[in-house]
Structure 1
Amino acid sequence: MGKKILAFLLVPFLLFYAFPASADKKEERVWEEEIVYSLMIDKFNNGDPANDRVHEADEAGFEGGDFKGITAKLDYLQEMGFTTILLSPVFQNDSGGFHGEAVTDFYKTEEHFGSTEDLKKLVEEAHRRKMKVMLEFPVDRVAEAHPWNSNPETKDWIKAGADNGGSEWNKGLPVINLENEEVRAYLIEAAKWWMDETQVDGFSLQYLDNVPSDFIKAFTSEVKSFKKGSYLIGAVNEGSRKELAELEAAGLDGIKDIQLNKPMRDAFSKIDASSSALLDNWKENVSAYDQPSLFPAYLDDKNTVRYTRDMVDQKQFPGSRWKLALFYLYTQPQVPIVFYGSEIAVNGGGPPDNVPLMSFWAKEELIEFIGRLAEIRSQHPALTHGTMELLYEKDGMLVFKREYQDDTIVVAINNTSEDQTAVIQAADLQDGKELRGLYGTDMVRSENGEYKIIVDREMTEIYDLVDKSSYNIPFIIALFAVFGFFIVFMYAAWKRGKKHNMRP
């Protein structure tokens, strides 16, 4: 009798969960669906103190971060919704090369970071969590101590006396001669070796300003042929859209969008600032690139002043500023890259002041905020594959639409000092629908051909455009029927039990 009663109790719940639910298996993620966390290995987390003192004379700048330390923090990164980890160069470096840019051997890991086995374990654990791992791969310079500089057989692998820019990290280091076919083949084979040995998922090629496009084309072609589905992105110190378009044509999955960086920093480092330049930038990208959504968007990185410094200079509270900026970063069309420490509003000037040792004191509220944004982005194809259309902008009150197939998302960001109302014509969306809040609980219905979106000062919301709410009559009837049958059954069981108890 007890088992029968339990079975009937379960029926309503089984009925409830049987109503529309997608059982489709999600396909393998593509590049535009990634959310990237970029970090400097030495500055992130110390997981193995034993490698802190490898060579006493070579400790300048090293602070202990290593592969084991990153592995220990994978759950922390996954909790915030990051799907890809981008590591600073892992290769063996010259004295003080905590940044990884002064490579002395492309086939060995830097001892301070741990062994190749440690890196393999990191990748394995990341993959177990369905996260990908990418490595920054320097292809423009090597350390003075690299054997290529002293070996007569490789003397033409280095450009004599050349200094074609570089960065604060590698300025003055010997420039690789990428016109030489042997050195090209060497670098490509090294990249394939790391993919085969550690199963990393791709590379970020840094400082491509003066790297020949035919080398990039050969690198991307061979690496992608070697490992299907691998990611290859690039970065330049400066460059026009025409120059970035040439890099896109060379086969890279995306190039970090330096054109977007300043407009984003300007828009959210202070209050009551116009956001129009952000949408203008997107329109120009659509005209300039074949696939602009593949270009990563970022607020700061190891080559910039920390974004928090902009906020402090504007005498603004970094907490609210970062929330608004991240909200836009996660809802705009390009792949978000977040530099380590952004979740705790790390401050700092130019390199190396911008890469302090990480402190894991982030408030749970901010971690939940970032994690919720990542969840919403991953659940709505309009945010990863959709178009972008401006609906309203005035002095920092920004409303835009993202659309892909039957998924329509509306984003509202109030970066002003007052509560704002944005009136959106139903013709720009669809009449007779409603905007249902995904981050908060707001709901906006179309009335008289308009949607009135009201957002408090320095607040945000993401809306899903859906049919107006109505009662699910068939479901309600079915639910009451089940409970009715259950009551009848219980009454019959009670009567039967009563008769049984009355027998002599």
Structure 2
Amino acid sequence: MVFYELFVRSFYDSNNDGIGDLKGLTMKLDYLKELGVEGIWLLPIMQSAAFHGYTVIDFYSINPSYGNIDDFKELIQEAHNRNIKIILDIPINHTSVKCEWFQKAVNGDEKYKNYYVWANEKTNLKEKRHWDDSLIWFKYKNKYFYGLFGSSSPDLNFENKELWNEIKNIFKFWLDLGVDGFRLDAAKHIFDYDIENMKFKYQHEKNIEFWNEMVNYIKNINKNAIIISEIWDSPEIVKKYHGIFDVEFNFPFSYYIKDTIKYHDPRILVQGINETLHHYISGSIKSISGNFFTNHDMERLMTTFNEDINMSKMAFNILMTLPGYPFIYYGDEIGMRGKIIDVNYTEDSQEPMQWYESGFGPGQTEWKGCKFNPPYNFISVEEQEKIKQSILNHVKDLISFRKENKWLENSLISNLFNDRFTISYILKSHNKEIKVYHNIKPQKTKVKKETYKSYKIYGQGIIKDNYIVLEGFSSIILEK
């Protein structure tokens, strides 16, 4: 399956308030269908005061800026009519301080007090989170709460088993509305604070117990539900969770792809495949690798490559010619730019989707100024649909190839090899086999021509008598 990560606020506006909404997304489903998208991962759409939606006020409601439950039902129906699945992002690690649960807790309700983690005499109120030295304890009405993701995001206390039932009710609510699965935000953070010793500590065994129970619950309601986990960590930590979820986001591999192209070094990709796609070499596949290069918390691809379109096309060549499920961040298919200066401020990587070359037109969202994607810079669907060599049409062609060869999702990798210019590998599944060459450098190179039934070139290349001339940042796929 080819997935598309979509931020409703930035996508398409149906009522001229400048904010993307569910009706607007429904109006643009045909664009996604034509692109080749088979599943939409929706960033949180529940009621939230935060622009990104990750601090939820009410888990059983729709953000009124996006519409209502009926709009969501219509979206699901229309998506399903086009054979597109809807995967909902649910951030259950924490709530908003505006959440009714938290407000009841701070006002003394014993049931809801036990939903959160509070400071006591053992607490070091100056403790900071390990990745950027931000504080993790915050004062609210003379009480200190634990909030790993900021002062507006009090963490839930999953030592409280009553809370587990509350979370199950949330999953059931959305499944009953027709969603096809969930993206589980911050999956390794369910148990990340040692309450007994009052200090930050990942407790992976407890996380695994929790998620096993939740996944089994979800599958009992809908055995075909797709469960996607976000575990942003080293390959060693990701391996601990292998087999629990249907799809595991492969964060380490996202960096391997980008660094391979950025530094023109095919050895990096070989290392990345060996380290993070090893289960597609050994055949011990228990969870599908969710492959991507960027998301809403990361710098956009074109910015990473200093706006080099050929390098971005090369990244898509790699993404679409490996096993697993590819995920595309909205706007990357038209080369949108976006830089994150601070992990706490991600707006610049979530700018409005650019439909028009002028930057204005029906449905164009305008909730934020386009610092990185200004008008008349060839960063629009309108302009790129016209030009055969655009990144948009390049991505469409790759997705079309991918969908014609669904077997690639579960294929095995063999014959992994690199020289100074290229990386090559064979993908096999039953009686199907292809060989792929990627020229990672900007200069052209030659590769040996082999017996094949057909070939596809993504980029530029010429087939000679006994060799192939492959231009820089180009790939060739040989069907055996």
Query: Which residue of the partner structure matches residue 268 of structure 1?
Result: 261
Aligned residues: 400
- Aligned partner of residue 376 in structure 1, secondary structure: helix
Structure 1, residues 168-207: CA drift from partner, whole Å, max 9, x if none? Answer: 994331001112112111111111111112x110000011
8 Å CA contact 1:301, 1:339 repeated in 2:
yes
Shift of 1:145: 0.9
> Which of 150, 157, 172 is matched with 1:171 structurally?
150
Shift of 1:463: 1.8
Query: Which residue of the partner structure matches residue 402 of structure 1?
Result: 427
Counterparts of 1:415-494 in structure 2 under 5 Å? 415-423=440-448, 433-439=451-457, 452-465=467-480
Query: Which residue of the partner structure matches residue 10 of structure 1?
Result: none
Counterparts of 1:117-196 in structure 2 under 5 Å? 117-151=70-104, 152=109, 153-161=111-119, 170-172=149-151, 173-196=153-176
Query: Which residue of the partner structure matches residue 341 of structure 1?
Result: 331
The amino acid that maps onto 1:81 is G
Query: Which residue of the partner structure matches residue 301 of structure 1?
Result: 295
- Is 1:114–2:129 an aligned residue pair? no
Query: Which residue of the partner structure matches residue 74 of structure 1?
Result: 29
The amino acid that maps onto 1:256 is F
What is the rounded CA distance, in whole Å, between the counterparts of 1:229 and 1:356 in structure 2? 33
Structure 1, residues 66-111: CA drift from partner, whole Å, max 9, x if none? Answer: 11111111111111111000000111113xx121111111111110
CA RMSD of aligned residues (A): 2.7
Query: Which residue of the partner structure matches residue 3 of structure 2?
Result: 36
Quickly say closer, same or farther: Cα 1:408–1:329, change in 2 above 3 A: same
**Which of the two has greater helix per residue?**
1
Query: Which residue of the partner structure matches residue 499 of structure 1?
Result: none
Q: What percentage of residue pairs aligned between the two structures are identical?
A: 22
Shift of 1:159: 1.2
8 Å CA contact 1:273, 1:395 repeated in 2:
yes
Q: Which has the larger radius of gyration?
A: 1
The amino acid that maps onto 1:265 is K
> Which of 183, 187, 194 is matched with 1:208 structurally?
187
What is the rounded CA distance, in whole Å, between the counterparts of 2:477 and 2:452 in structure 1? 13
What is the rounded CA distance, in whole Å, between the counterparts of 1:302 and 1:265 in structure 2? 16
What is the rounded CA distance, in whole Å, between the counterparts of 1:229 and 1:443 in structure 2? 44
The amino acid that maps onto 1:380 is N
Shift of 1:273: 5.5
What is the rounded CA distance, in whole Å, between the counterparts of 1:336 and 1:289 in structure 2? 19
What is the rounded CA distance, in whole Å, between the counterparts of 2:283 and 2:100 in structure 1? 40
Quickly say closer, same or farther: Cα 1:443–1:409, change in 2 above 3 A: farther
- Aligned partner of residue 209 in structure 1, secondary structure: helix
What is the rounded CA distance, in whole Å, between the counterparts of 1:203 and 1:443 in structure 2? 44
Query: Which residue of the partner structure matches residue 375 of structure 2?
Result: none
What is the rounded CA distance, in whole Å, between the counterparts of 1:376 and 1:149 in structure 2? 49
What is the rounded CA distance, in whole Å, between the counterparts of 1:138 and 1:242 in structure 2? 24
Quickly say closer, same or farther: Cα 1:354–1:268, change in 2 above 3 A: same
Structure 1, residues 309-355: CA drift from partner, whole Å, max 9, x if none? Answer: 2111xxxx521111110010011112111111101212122212211
Structure 1, residues 365-407: CA drift from partner, whole Å, max 9, x if none? Answer: 3333222211211222442121112454223412221111111
8 Å CA contact 2:320, 2:399 repeated in 1:
yes
Shift of 1:47: 1.7
> Which of 305, 310, 316 is matched with 1:320 structurally?
310
Quickly say closer, same or farther: Cα 1:246–1:391, change in 2 above 3 A: closer
What is the rounded CA distance, in whole Å, between the counterparts of 1:122 and 1:175 in structure 2? 31
Structure 1, residues 416-468: CA drift from partner, whole Å, max 9, x if none? Answer: 232211237x6xxxxxx4251135798979x9xxx734312222222211xxx
> Which of 250, 263, 266 is matched with 1:257 structurally?
250
Shift of 1:285: 4.7
What is the rounded CA distance, in whole Å, between the counterparts of 1:283 and 1:271 in structure 2? 21
- Aligned partner of residue 107 in structure 1, secondary structure: coil
What is the rounded CA distance, in whole Å, between the counterparts of 1:302 and 1:171 in structure 2? 17
8 Å CA contact 1:104, 1:146 repeated in 2:
yes
Residue segments in structure 1 that go unaligned for 5+ positions in a row: 1-33, 53-62, 427-432, 466-504
What is the rounded CA distance, in whole Å, between the counterparts of 1:422 and 1:175 in structure 2? 54
What is the rounded CA distance, in whole Å, between the counterparts of 2:417 and 2:432 in structure 1? 20
8 Å CA contact 1:293, 1:385 repeated in 2:
no
8 Å CA contact 1:273, 1:396 repeated in 2:
yes
Quickly say closer, same or farther: Cα 1:327–1:287, change in 2 above 3 A: closer
8 Å CA contact 2:281, 2:413 repeated in 1:
no
- Aligned partner of residue 220 in structure 1, secondary structure: helix
8 Å CA contact 2:334, 2:392 repeated in 1:
no
TM-score under structure 2 normalisation?
0.77
Query: Which residue of the partner structure matches residue 233 of structure 1?
Result: 228
> Which of 414, 431, 453 is matched with 1:389 structurally?
414
Quickly say closer, same or farther: Cα 1:89–1:289, change in 2 above 3 A: farther
Residue segments in structure 2 that go unaligned for 5+ positions in a row: 135-147, 191-206, 341-345, 356-379
The amino acid that maps onto 1:394 is D
Quickly say closer, same or farther: Cα 1:285–1:386, change in 2 above 3 A: closer
Quickly say closer, same or farther: Cα 1:246–1:180, change in 2 above 3 A: same
TM-score under structure 1 normalisation?
0.74
Shift of 1:236: 2.2
Structure 1, residues 222-279: CA drift from partner, whole Å, max 9, x if none? Answer: 11110121100110232x3343233234x21121111211111111235466443333
